[in-house]
Structure 1
Amino acid sequence: MTAVRTITVHEAAFAVFRHFGVDALFGNPGSTELPMLQAMPDDIAYVLGLNEAVVIAMADGYAQASRRPALVNLHSAAGTGNALGNLFTSFRNGTPLVITAGQQARALLPFDPFLGAERASEFPRPYVKWALEPARPEDVPAALVRAFHMAMTPPTGPVFVSVPVDDWDRPCVMPTLPALTLRTAPQADGISGLAAMLDGSGRPALVLGAGVARCGGWDDAIRLAERIGADVWTAPLCGRECFPEDHPRFAGFLPGFRERIVDCLAPYDGILVAGAPVFTWHAEGGGPPWPDHARLGLLSDDPAHLSALPGGTGVLGDVAYGLFALAEVTTARAAYSRRALRARPVPEPGMTPAHILARIARNRPPDAILVEEAPTARQALQAVLPVIRQAGFYTTAAGGLGYALPAAVGVARACPKTKIIALLGDGSAMYTIQGLWSAAQAGADIAYVVLNNRRYAALDNFADRFGLGDLPGTAIEGIDFAAIAAGLGVASRCVADVDGIDPALAWAFATTGPTLIEFRI
């Protein structure tokens, strides 16, 4: 009888990590994580963040840009709590993260110990796909295998495993490491139904969401739009790039308001939404969710999108496969109307978001990647700073702040030969300003651009929209971002006049490593 060779949980866990392509562990360590971090292998780097929100966002940016799962380690309940805001963002971004968190020793758990995480697996819910604290130490490696599979199974997302501090040195048996194909093509009859809807439309439109980017469907979307002559809209509040914004078929960005969505889509009689729900709204509205006269189809890998579909035809499956298949079977035809390339506005010179973003568009390296969290400047960005490359744009799909500054570090790690432009509002930047230290330590090639209007201006804009008058707590005067950046190891400049814009951008784009420009707008 063959003897079963036992190894430690630590050895088995790192074998699991390697099997799934992990080359970095993003963390902020504490006492309950020390046995995991002991004797870290040379082939897995430890990427330190000075706050758990920073850690999650760095891992999120890395996972999205590398299109691989990222590994995170948090410190018990306190660290998990610090991470929850950006964990919510990762959940809404659909980012495959495997999050481990330390737990007190098993023998202490009945006695309410210091640093004990009571009901640890429930704490991060509902913003993880799956969570577990294994019942026995020897079950930890198998739980990690399942965690990676759960994170990578569409719709992708974060998962959570709580590991007691005394588990890592315990003996276990190495679990089986299956190789799984997790992407599933849509059924043929579903594709046939969507194709018939598009072929039967005289004025078709595509509405594309982040699911297109997650599955690498950029080229497939272009091919389908060109084949059937469809206009292309970006889905409301989308966190990724879906279609080249300088393409003749690109029509614009749907707003997050029901009535305005219907107005934008009114010219069309056939609408295919791909990789997004129907629809994401930002405020209460009334009336139909899409034009009454139009036929509607939905293609998504997320069953939740289909279960919430208010009508029309829904097809479940990988979005890139589906778009490719539709481009194969739909009837090729000319566009129902010629769409000229949209002329980009030329803003008047001034210390305004529109003018600064237009100068970024003119001066940026051609392959630069944009990571954005400047809500007040979003409309200006869409007007004057087009995203024209695949995997060229990342933002928060959740609406919470504190994501983009550290996420840029993760994107830079995944794309080390590409300039990253991180566009931030002043309020957004302060949520996770510690991420500048991680950028400096990594030598990340990031040009941080802070649009400092000295307030939470997005809230003022909403107050005006809904007639709420003046609000308390929106002014944030007196912050010197250039000084903070210098103190955290990032070269910086402050620009307060128009003549300084282009020289500062030229400096940032020519410098290798992290820089920060504070624009006083």
Structure 2
Amino acid sequence: MTFTVRDAVFGFLRDAGVDTVFGNPGSTELRMMRDWPGDLTYVLGLQESVVVGAAAGHAMGTGRAAVVSLHSAGGVGHALGAVFNAFRDRVPLRLIAGQQTRAMLSTRPFLAADEPATFPRPYVKWSAQPDRAEDVPGAVAEAYRVAMTPPRGPVFLSVPEDDWDRAAEPVALRAVHHDFVGDPAGLRAVADALSGSRSPCLVIGPGVDDDGAHAAVTDLAERLTAAVWLEPLSGRSGFPESHRLFRGFLPPVRDRIRAALAGHDVVVTVGAALFKFHVHVDGPFLPDGTRLFHLDCDPALLARQPVGDSVLTTVRAGVSTLLTLVSARDRAAPPARPGVEPAPVRDPLDAAQVFDALRAALPADAVVVEEAPSHREAFHARVPIDRPGGFLTTGSGALGWGLPVAVGRALAGTRVVCVVGDGSSMYSIQAVWTAVRHRAPVTFVVLNNGGYEAVKQLGRRLSSPATPGTELPGIDFVALAWGLGCPGRRVRSCADLPDALAAALAADGPFLLEVPIVDAVATAYR
């Protein structure tokens, strides 16, 4: 039997458990899409960054590398902001981009990508355009293995459009065993420091959630009676936020991190980037006398850390080993985390009232996707996430991630509540159409404060109170939703909020709730 490149590639994808492909098609992808297999669902996004974001949400929901079809140079260019987020947030994606016919490439034809393997770097783990058509299936298999090997992340393959009909041999799926345990001496040093510590502290990053290590990390914290923080601007949660040992999210400013860690003689980061700063402040990285250790699977991340000793290990394997090595001892529990008073009920609404209402109405099994940068601190204070995989956001900062990630995560099989700012939503509002087309169970809650408030806040910090280009008046999100086929409703007052939120959460399929708000006290990164 004669196989084509198309036969071999789709056969490999089936063997790897792929049942969904996310894409936005163009002419250089038509031969790949001819005779599309009936067992593969094609999820169309109306812009390439939406396609990548939706695929990322699906990958984080399924734990498998999602497949993304992009169009040549222009489509890849449109997608790169979302690819940047996926790379920084370690989301495994297989990006397959079309390319013009091989015979025309020397003449630089219409739509062709120049140096296609270079274009998405450095924000992919691996990239290639095979020299021969018959090498494409093997490259797809290699891309899969690279994407799924820790630290996981996106990979990129450019395929000339005439390759798909050429003869090729099928390729077999090879297992990728992900876990590896760090150097025994290094883990022993960490365990000894923790066992002898007077006041230990763990800093949890998205690597805990990504590796399914919640239970092990919680056991370790309880055995040590250790305070637990989450890394600054973490893209995921990794510890039950209602737990008595949880202290909150670290701020992305050097002196505030140092102040939060004061009094802890041993700090261990677990799948975390402790020194993720957003504004610069001079001074030491750590309090005097604090010893720091890092546990992570990414050698590049560990090499970049300015202070502390590092152990290269996958998170679950490393923490499980620590549990066999650390000794329990009596320690005073860290002081109770200050509670948050209910927000005053009043008009006009502010974000704190919305978050209080959301916490009361949120289904226990829902996943929350957040992209409301100016309200992030209030959100974390008022909507604690306790279940594994229950929270997603961008840990990298490129806006437009929230809406499509929410859609893709919902398509992976759970109810999603997406809390998004008005400014953020306009980067990827097309994702609402995809949610409608596939009846994704997602509730969009758009906080409309009429501007880029996070930019205004930072402008005030930098003594620039009147930053131009930060006002967004006159956008009707309910009309936008209805225009894309999605039912929507605008909250008119604080009295309207509970019923409106209940209706939005009970909808069969997607629903958009617009909540006009005023900004209370700007607190970001002070």
TM-score interval (norm. to shorter):
over 0.9
Aligned to 2:523: none
Which of residues 357, 377, 383 is equivalent to 1:379?
377
Deviations 1:335-369 (A, max 9, x none): 42354365232111130001101100011111111
Q: Is the 8 A contact 2:16 2:173 kept in 1?
A: no
Say if 2:51 is the partner of 1:55. Answer: yes
Contact 2:490-2:515 at 8 Å conserved across structures: yes
Residue 408 of structure 1 is matched in structure 2 by: 406
1:152 aligns with 2:148: yes
Please list, as runs of the form range in 1=range in 2, the aligned pairs for 1:115-264 lying within 5 A after superposition: 115-264=111-260
Q: Is contact 1:345-1:383 (8 Å) kept?
A: no
Measured in 2, the distance between the counterparts of 1:309 and 1:454 equals 39
* Moved >6 Å (runs of 4+): none
* SS in structure 1 of the partner of residue 222 of structure 2: helix
Aligned to 2:520: none
Secondary structure of the corresponding residue to residue 379 of structure 2: helix
Distance in 1 separating the partners of 2:193 and 2:254: 23
CA contact (8 A) 1:299 1:322 kept: yes
Residue 6 of structure 1: CA displacement? 4.2
Look up the equivalent residue of 1:508 and give its one-letter code.
Answer: A
Q: Contact between 2:245 and 2:333, CA under 8 Å: does it hold in 1?
A: no
Shift of 1:276: 1.5
Counterparts of 1:84 and 1:510, CA distance in 2: 35
The answer to whether residue 367 in structure 2 is matched with residue 369 in structure 1 is yes
Q: Is residue 106 from structure 1 mapped to residue 102 from structure 2 by the alignment?
A: yes
Q: For residues 513 and 466 of structure 1, what CA distance do their matches in structure 2 show?
A: 43
Residue in structure 2 matching 1:436, options 432, 439, 448 = 432
CA distance in 2, matches of 1:313, 1:119: 39
Tell me the alpha carbon deviations over residues 280-308 of structure 1, each in whole angstroms, 9 at most, x when there is no partner: 11111211112121111110001012111
Distance 1:106 1:395 in 2: 40
The answer for the alignment partner of 1:28 in structure 2 is 24
Deviation at 1:138, TM superposition (A): 0.2
Shift of 1:333: 2.6
Report the Cα distance in structure 2 between the residues aligned to 1:501 and 1:119, rounded to whole angstroms: 52
Shift of 1:310: 2.2
Q: Distance in 1 between matches of 2:228 and 2:79?
A: 36
Measure, in 2, the Cα distance between the counterparts of 1:335 and 1:345. Answer: 29
Distance of 1:474 and 1:254 partners within structure 2? 27
1:55-94 counterparts in 2 under 5 A? 55-94=51-90
Matched, 1:503 2:509: no
Give 2:25's aligned amino acid: P
Give, in angstroms, the shift of residue 174 of structure 1: 1.8
Give the structure 1 partner of residue 477 of structure 2.
481
Q: Structure 1's 394 and 477: CA in aligned 2 closer, same or farther, altered over 3 A? A: same
Give distance in 1, aligned partners of 2:336 and 2:274.
Answer: 28
Bigger drift between 182-191 and 224-233 goes to 182-191
Gaps of 5+ in 1: none
What residue identity is the alignment partner of 1:353? A
Q: Which residue of 1 aligns with 2:418?
A: 422
- Contact 1:153 / 1:183 at 8 angstroms: preserved in 2? no
Decide whether the 8 Å contact of 1:227 with 1:334 is kept in 2.
Answer: no
- The one of 447, 452, 457 equivalent to 1:461 is 457
**CA–CA separation in structure 2 for the residues paired with 1:161 and 1:103:** 10
Question: Which residue does 1:284 correspond to in 2?
Answer: 280
Counterpart CA distance in 2 for 1:314 and 1:53 is 35
Aligned to 2:392: 394
Alignment partners' CA distance in 2, 1:245 and 1:85: 30
SS in 1 for 2:437: helix
Counterpart of 1:363, as a letter, is A
Residue 37 of structure 2 aligns to a residue whose secondary structure is coil
- Would you say 1:446 and 2:453 are equivalent positions? no
Deviation for aligned residue 1:464: 1.1
User: Post-superposition shift, 1:329?
Assistant: 1.6
Which residue of 334, 348, 351 corresponds with 1:353? 351
Deviation at 1:60, TM superposition (A): 0.4
- For 2:502 and 2:38, the matched residues in 1 are separated by 37
One-letter identity of the residue aligned with 1:153? T
CA contact (8 A) 1:6 1:174 kept: no
Q: Secondary structure of the equivalent of 2:459?
A: helix
SS in 2 for 1:54: helix
Distance 1:77 1:155 in 2: 27
Q: Distance in 1 between matches of 2:82 and 2:176?
A: 29
Q: Is the 8 A contact 1:70 1:96 kept in 2?
A: yes
CA distance in 1, matches of 2:288, 2:40: 54
Q: Distance in 1 between matches of 2:308 and 2:191?
A: 13
Please give the alpha-carbon distance, in whole angstroms, between the structure 2 residues aligned to 1:49 and 1:86: 13
> Secondary structure at the residue paired with 2:168?
strand
Gap runs ≥5 in structure 2: 518-526
Q: What's the secondary structure of 1:73's corresponding residue? A: strand
Distance 2:140 2:179 in 1: 20
CA distance in 2, matches of 1:339, 1:115: 61
- Deviation of 1:453 (Å): 0.2
Question: Is contact 2:20–2:67 with CA below 8 Å preserved after alignment?
Answer: yes
What secondary structure is seen at the aligned counterpart in 2 of 1:162? strand
Sequence identity, in percent? 45
1:496 deviates by 2.7
Q: What are the Cα deviations for residues 470-509 of structure 1, in whole angstroms up to 9, with x where unaligned?
A: 1100000000000100111111001131111001011011
**Is the 1:132–1:160 Cα contact (8 Å) retained in structure 2?**
yes
Q: Distance in 1 between matches of 2:335 and 2:216?
A: 20
3-state SS, counterpart of residue 156 of structure 2: strand
Q: State the alpha-carbon separation in 1 of the partners of residues 473 and 407 from structure 2.
A: 27
Contact 2:367 2:391 survives alignment (8 Å): yes
How far is 1:176 from its partner? Answer: 3.8
Which residue among 295, 305, 308 is the counterpart of 1:309?
A: 305
Post-superposition shift, 1:10?
Answer: 0.3
Which residue identity is paired with 1:166?
Answer: D
Q: Give the TM-score, by structure 2 length.
A: 0.96
The structure 1 residue matched to 2:91, chosen from 79, 89, 95, is 95
Q: Is the 8 A contact 1:185 1:321 kept in 2?
A: yes
Distance 1:112 1:207 in 2: 50
Q: 2: CA distance between counterparts of 1:88 and 1:143?
A: 22
Post-superposition Cα deviations, 1:300-320, rounded to whole Å, max 9, x if no partner, equal 001012111223221001111
User: Which residue type is aligned with residue 49 of structure 2?
Assistant: A
